[in-house]
Amino acid sequence: MSLFRCPICNAPLTVEDRTYRCQTGHCYDMAKEGYTHLLPVQHKHSQNPGDDKAMVRSRRAFLTKDYYAPLRRTLEELARHHTPAKGAVLDSGCGEGYYTAAISRALQDSGIPHRLAAVDISKEAVRLTAKALHGCGESAVASVYHLPVADESIDFLLNCFSPLAIDEFRRVVKPGGHFAYVVPAAEHLWQMKEVLYDHPYPNEVKRTPYEGFRYVDVLEVRDTITLESQEDIFALFQMTPYSWKTPEEGVHRLRKLTTLTTEIAFHIHLFEKE
Ligand SMILES: [Zn+2]
């Protein structure tokens, strides 16, 4: 049985001959990479919503070089710790699937039988996620504000640099299940911001409690990384929100660099569903 539900009638879906079907008769074909579209037209607000091909590809180019390995390893550890045997994992806003695939491998390597699903609004991102998962999990183009999964069905939910759909997370996480919310910490990419801006600001750091969840912890992950090529520097820039709000002079300064050493810093807010 799939972790996904029919986005139209909310009934369980079964998979047969690479097609998801609900008992009402709605059906959703799998693309050749293994993902499916669970985005009803009323939840789709543009032709190609979400991150475009270029953004998704720079993120893939950057992340596969493992510069964010410390964050990846911490998320693997959290998933191992909070996924019970036969548990269910959901990556909400999975991007191109770097963390999704890492978690899937970590759970397999630890011998934890599980089901895993990933959703993102960007088709290109989900296509790459499906390829990265090698069939060890499901992936769908879907809105995180209308997650195509059942109430209280998820043991571990990951939301890494993606929209916080807290009402949906409250609905889908099981009581006692966990939700990990990854955000940049104050000094994340500080040295890159010093190149881009005359007066860089640290990221805002806050602790927001959410109704229905108990605050377990805020984990901090930090490291210093050195990017050794303009290609890597620009790929990192393109996966940040700075890529659409930096003045031209800043981008020009960044374009001239062939090496950049910068701090990376993340906060993982961990919650338990009450
Ligand atoms: Zn249906």
Question: What is the CATH number for 109?
Answer: 3.40.50.150
Tell how far the Cα of 126 is from the centroid of ligand 1, in angstroms.
22
Question: Is residue 169 a part of any domain in this protein?
Answer: yes
How far apart are alpha carbons 204 and 265 in whole angstroms?
Answer: 12
Tell how far the Cα of 159 is from the centroid of ligand 1, in angstroms.
26
Tell how far the Cα of 134 is from the centroid of ligand 1, in angstroms.
27
Considering all CA atoms of the chain, what is the largest pairwise distance in Å, rounded to the nearest integer? 59
Tell how far the Cα of 142 is from the centroid of ligand 1, in angstroms.
15
In this predicted structure, what is the pLDDT of residue 48? 76
In this predicted structure, what is the pLDDT of residue 173? 98
In this predicted structure, what is the pLDDT of residue 21? 97
- Domain assignment of residue 80, given as a range: 46-273
How far apart are alpha carbons 84 and 14 in whole angstroms?
Answer: 23
Name the one residue in this structure whose structure tokens are 């806050």.
206
Q: What share of the chain is helix, strand, coil (3-state, %, to 5)?
A: 30, 30, 40
In this predicted structure, what is the pLDDT of residue 75? 98
Alpha helical stretches, state H, 110-157? 123-133
Tell how far the Cα of 20 is from the centroid of ligand 1, in angstroms.
10
Question: Is residue 136 a part of any domain in this protein?
Answer: yes
In this predicted structure, what is the pLDDT of residue 1? 83
Structurally, the chain folds into a number of domains equal to: 1
Question: Is residue 69 a part of any domain in this protein?
Answer: yes
Tell how far the Cα of 38 is from the centroid of ligand 1, in angstroms.
11
Q: Show pLDDT as tens, one digit a residue, over the chain (274 residues).
A: 899 999 999 999 999 999 999 999 999 999 999 999 998 877 766 777 788 888 898 899 999 999 999 999 999 999 999 999 999 999 999 999 999 999 999 999 999 999 999 999 999 999 999 999 999 999 999 999 999 999 999 999 999 999 999 999 999 999 999 999 999 999 999 999 999 999 999 999 999 999 999 999 999 999 999 999 999 999 999 989 898 889 999 999 999 999 999 999 999 999 999 9
Which of 82, 75, 107 lies closest to 178, judged by CA? 82
Tell how far the Cα of 109 is from the centroid of ligand 1, in angstroms.
35
Question: Is residue 4 a part of any domain in this protein?
Answer: no
Question: Is residue 77 a part of any domain in this protein?
Answer: yes
Question: Is residue 140 a part of any domain in this protein?
Answer: yes
Q: How many CB atoms lie within 10 A of CB 78?
A: 21
Tell how far the Cα of 121 is from the centroid of ligand 1, in angstroms.
20
Alpha helical stretches, state H, 115-183? 123-133, 166-172
Q: Is the dihedral of CA 145, 151, 154, 155 positive or negative?
A: positive
In this predicted structure, what is the pLDDT of residue 217? 95
Alpha helical stretches, state H, 27-133? 53-63, 69-82, 98-109, 123-133
Tell how far the Cα of 1 is from the centroid of ligand 1, in angstroms.
15
In this predicted structure, what is the pLDDT of residue 45? 67
Question: Is residue 24 a part of any domain in this protein?
Answer: no
Tell how far the Cα of 88 is from the centroid of ligand 1, in angstroms.
22
Tell how far the Cα of 113 is from the centroid of ligand 1, in angstroms.
28
Question: Is residue 19 a part of any domain in this protein?
Answer: no
In this predicted structure, what is the pLDDT of residue 88? 98
Tell how far the Cα of 152 is from the centroid of ligand 1, in angstroms.
19
Tell how far the Cα of 21 is from the centroid of ligand 1, in angstroms.
7
Tell how far the Cα of 93 is from the centroid of ligand 1, in angstroms.
23
